[in-house]
Amino acid sequence: MASIELLLVFLVFASFIAYGLTKLNTFAGSVFTIFSMMFIFVSLAMYGLDLGMDTTVNYLPSIAFEQTYLGAFFALIITFIYLMVSFFHPYFIDTYKYKDTYNFLFILSLVGIIGAFYTGHFINLFFFFELVIWTTMFLIPQGKSEDAAIKYFGFSVAGSMAMLAGIFLIYQEAGTFAINSGLASLTGGSATVVFILFMVAAFAKLGAFPLHIWLPIAHGNAPHPFSPVLSGALVKLGAFIGILGLIKIAPSTPVFEAIDLPIGQYIIALLGSLSIVFGTLMAIKEDDAKKLLAYSSMSHGGYILVAFSMLDGIAFAGGFYHILAHALASAGAFMAIATVARATGTTKIKELGGMIHKMPITYLAYLIAIISMAGIPPMGGFVSKWLIFQAVTDQGLVFVGIAVFFGSVGSFLYVFRPLSAMFLGQEFSEYKDNKEAPLLMLIPTFIIMGLNIYTGVLPSGILNFINNIVVELGYASVTVTTFEVHGTNGILNPGLISLVFAVGIAIAFIIFILLKKSRKVGLMDTYTAGNFVHDEHVFHYSEDFYAPLERLYEKHSHWMTVFYKALAHKVKELGHMCQYLFMSKHMSASILWIVAVIFLVLVGELL
Amino acid sequence: MIGILIGIGIAFFGFVLQTSIGGINRKIVGRLQKRHGPRWYQEFIDIFKLLSKRSVCHGWIFDFGVIMALGGIIATAMFMPVTSSIVAFENYDNFFIYVYLLAVGMLGMAMSASGSGNPWASIGVMRALTTMLAYEVPFLIVALTILNLTDYSSLTDIMLYQQAAGNSWFLIALPLGGIVGVLALMGMLGKKPFETYIAPAEIASGPMVEYGGKQLGMLFIMHEITVFIEVSLFVHLFLGGASSIVEFLIKYFIVYTVVNLISNVNGRFKIDQVVVFFYKWPLFMAVTQAIIAIYFGWVI
């Protein structure tokens, strides 16, 4: 029996020990971080899965824990990503400005995460959320840009404030801070307002359209090993709030007969669709591999929103499975990019080429991750997308369908770009002496590769656990047998698909091996249309990869940035006005305002 | 186990069928252009000649991609039902498998082409993927309509639904969707005006630029089986499938020949024109069809 309270206390102490150790020796501090992450993960996995955690609180003041399958699912995934990423720390931490604090803040942010998922009390939830935001805010600027942290913080705080307002409203209506009963007791107008406020919080954390602007900036500029955490783990906090708002507030009755969804849920599904389309289009034209993956996270956030707004057991199962599959896929892809960035010092696609020749394992890790991300069998992403598609086709959501299919095909385009331009193509002479990542970094790479495949081949174990969550939320579970997943209008057998795929590969391999052996030639020994090419840099196609497609929409691709710039400008102007009015150099103005405020207060008292 | 053997049989059948019909079509097109055209088994000769030749290799990913491409396509073909009774894995012939397992093959080919180190191959891949983005969405919306109407996603069940008394083929039941289906099929097959990514007569650039010998031969086999999968998908989704193998052969031949004939009297789009085209009328028609059929229930 593991007590959540003790786990959290342990983590807090561990964070201080990690700080001290890192100050003495960065490697020792990082190894300590790995072991404490392992301890937490193993404890959660051992007892958390069947809700065997001890929730009693003996030491911490005014904190109450409660365990649900929903919380356990999220906590476990995120802790797993933390554990995997911590293996990268020893090789990256020396490059940071404030390296002593890195492990400290890293561990401390996990306190917030586990606390947030194991609490049934709104104020606790808010506190733990803030803890996550405040710790990660100091982690992000250790990467490339400090500006990124400000944007991340701005959007996160906007989301948290919206949530806080919602929490107070719930308290006012229901008189309780308990999450489940508070949300369930809402009716009428206040339900709508809380729904909107929670959705704002969810969108801001998830980086969904229209609150997505921070996502590529934060992901792209965060320290390399922290980007997988941001995309695979922290963004999922938004999904959690989204679930609270979309499912736990009693949904209203459908308005349109044809679309069998409450209007609020339908709007969220449409906004999720917009996230998918925008994320995909922006990812296609992005030149930085990390930002590209960040936009893909945005598009996958859209899938998650679509899944949870459909109010259907199969869609929920798809959504939960997608959370897991995307966490694994994006962590895998980001970690592969981090490995490349460590070896080359850049994440710009056009500055890289032919990394596969020196880093084949990293290449395979990236390949498997993107196959899952694009939803191609036999990886986990296919199972989740299949479940979501089942729900979309069954409910006949045409417009959502456009986005869902567009995102799915579009993801082939954008994930292929780093694959083609970074890993394949001409091998650049400056990277000829690169080496594969060290063993410690390959451990998580292999684990994530294995899990990406496992989730795609044998989803039944995980889906059975997800069924617990779906039932807990009050919806019908998905029928799952050892090999089969039953959707509304068909059966999927991922194991069989993998087997058949293996048979196909075997046949192709036999054909290949039976035929005459080919002569090995170099990469520059290719068809050049009669030109003499002497420099591999000019013989590598990586910049503006989808130029003909980008031309069609690049003129319109900046309007969100322009809008937010204008908004920021207006807020600044407002600030200037306040400054001018209230904080001017003239004493008289200040006194005037003080008198005015006192007057207003007195009038208020008199009324 | 027996299913896997049947599946391999179907994949082989698909290869032989499409290669023969492709050969016959070369003859038909030849006649259309007042030529004699090659013999009907010319395509077989081409493939076996290529397979017997010695060629070059640009590193392991170049070979691995080819194997993955052919393997993925064979796997997809193994799931494909030929008639409503000849199917390797009953109940598992799910529609989405074709769309996504096909992508494994495409990814393999794209990877191999980029792995050759030739930038023109990458440009070809870029065009192929962009074309895919164009035709897939309207096609999938029509497929969504069909899946929603039949409540099945298994191809055999969709086939049986159309064969049942009182239901007409979806080409007739959903006329707008049927048009979209034909256009999307032309895109999938890379027929003019959507053949920009191969553009065989004009430019050397294209995914295939670096291939020769066995790799090219294997990709030819892959291409034939891909065409088999795509045309069969159209037959099963829109033309009521087939209850006997003769019916399947007739429908298959007609569909492929008609598409080929349309293709041969057309010019070629630029790649961005392909995208704009598909996102204009076909998408509009597909959405209109979906709304009419799903929300209003007007199905002929």
Task: Provide the pLDDT for residue A191.
Answer: 84
Average pLDDT over residues A10-15: 89
**Chain B CB contacts of A318 below 8 Å:** none
Torsion angle, alpha carbons of A149, A151, A153, A156, to 10? -140
Cβ–Cβ gap B117/A401 under 8 Å: no
Within 118-147 of B, beta carbons closer than 8 Å to A belong to 118-120, 122-123, 125-127, 129-130, 132-133, 136-137, 140-141, 144-145, 147
Tell me the C-alpha distance between A199 and A241, whole Å: 8
**Chain A CB contacts of B215 below 8 Å:** 518
Amino acid at A16: F
pLDDT band at B67 (very low <50, low <70, confident <90, very high): very high
Cβ–Cβ gap B144/A552 under 8 Å: no
Give the gap in angstroms from C-alpha A578 to the nearest C-alpha of chain B: 49
Report whether pLDDT(B205) > 70. Answer: no
**Residues in Cβ contact with B129 at an 8 Å cutoff, skipping those fewer than 6 apart:** A412, A413, A416, A546, B110
pLDDT in tens, A49-89: 888 778 788 887 778 888 888 888 998 999 999 999 989 88
Report whether pLDDT(A420) > 70. Answer: yes
**Residues in Cβ contact with A196 at an 8 Å cutoff, skipping those fewer than 6 apart:** none
Task: Provide the pLDDT for residue B203.
Answer: 60
Report whether pLDDT(A553) > 90. Answer: no
- CB contact, 8 Å: B9 with chain A? no
Report whether pLDDT(A254) > 80. Answer: no
pLDDT in tens, A307-343: 998 888 889 999 999 999 999 999 999 999 999 888 8
pLDDT band at A368 (very low <50, low <70, confident <90, very high): very high
Strands A491-492, A519-520: parallel, antiparallel or unpaired by DSSP? unpaired
Task: Provide the pLDDT for residue A258.
Answer: 66
Contact B137, A405 (CB under 8 A): yes
Mean per-residue pLDDT of chain A: 86
- CB contact, 8 Å: B152 with chain A? yes
Residue A584 DSSP SS3: coil
A 10 A CB-CB count for B275 gives: 21
Report whether pLDDT(A349) > 80. Answer: yes
Q: Name the residue with higher pLDDT: A481 or B65.
A: B65
Report whether pLDDT(A262) > 80. Answer: yes
Per-residue H/E/C for A181-221: HHHHCCCHHHHHHHHHHHHHHHHHHHCCCCCCCHHHHHHHH
pLDDT band at A1 (very low <50, low <70, confident <90, very high): low
Best mutation target among B89, B94, B141, B154 (most A Cβ atoms within 10 Å) is B94
Cβ–Cβ gap B295/A258 under 8 Å: yes
Minimum Cα–Cα distance from B289: chain A residue: A398
A 10 A CB-CB count for B29 gives: 16
Best mutation target among A314, A355, A420, A539 (most B Cβ atoms within 10 Å) is A420
Tell me the C-alpha distance between B238 and B260, whole Å: 18
Of the candidates A216, A205, A210, A213, which has an alpha carbon nearest to the alpha carbon of residue A273? A210
Nearest to B272 among A425, A499, A552 (CB): A552
Best mutation target among B48, B57, B144 (most A Cβ atoms within 10 Å) is B144
Task: Provide the pLDDT for residue A475.
Answer: 85
Cβ–Cβ gap B107/A376 under 8 Å: yes
Of the candidates A200, A305, A312, A320, which has an alpha carbon nearest to the alpha carbon of residue A254? A312
**DSSP letter string over A435-472?**
-PPPHHHHHHHHHHHHHHHHHHH--HHHHHHHHHHHHH
Q: Name the residue with higher pLDDT: A1 or A541.
A: A541
User: Above pLDDT 90, what percent of chain A?
Assistant: 15
Give the gap in angstroms from C-alpha B246 to the nearest C-alpha of chain A: 27
Q: What are phi and psi of A486, to 5 degrees?
A: -100, 120
DSSP 8-state class, residue A349? G
Q: What is the ipTM of this complex?
A: 0.93
Task: Provide the pLDDT for residue A527.
Answer: 81
Within 436-495 of A, beta carbons closer than 8 Å to B belong to 487-493
**Chain A CB contacts of B68 below 8 Å:** 505, 508
Task: Provide the pLDDT for residue B224.
Answer: 92
Amino acid at A382: F
Cβ–Cβ gap A491/B54 under 8 Å: no
Structure tokens at A561: 């940035």
Report whether pLDDT(B81) > 80. Answer: yes
Task: Provide the pLDDT for residue A577.
Answer: 86
Cβ–Cβ gap B70/A504 under 8 Å: yes
Task: Provide the pLDDT for residue A574.
Answer: 92
Task: Provide the pLDDT for residue A173.
Answer: 83
Report whether pLDDT(A134) > 70. Answer: yes
Half-sphere exposure of A73 (CA within 13 A, CB side): 27
Task: Provide the pLDDT for residue B296.
Answer: 84
Nearest to B117 among A412, A506, A526 (CB): A526
pLDDT band at B251 (very low <50, low <70, confident <90, very high): very high
Task: Provide the pLDDT for residue A508.
Answer: 92
Give the gap in angstroms from C-alpha A384 to the nearest C-alpha of chain B: 12
Contact B232, B240 (CB under 8 A): no
Nearest to B272 among A488, A499, A551 (CB): A551
pLDDT in tens, B102-158: 888 888 888 898 888 888 888 888 888 888 889 999 999 999 999 988 888 888 888
- Residue linked to tokens 């649900």: A68
Task: Provide the pLDDT for residue A521.
Answer: 86
Of the candidates A386, A381, A234, A391, which has an alpha carbon nearest to the alpha carbon of residue A307? A391
pLDDT band at B259 (very low <50, low <70, confident <90, very high): very high
Task: Provide the pLDDT for residue B179.
Answer: 92
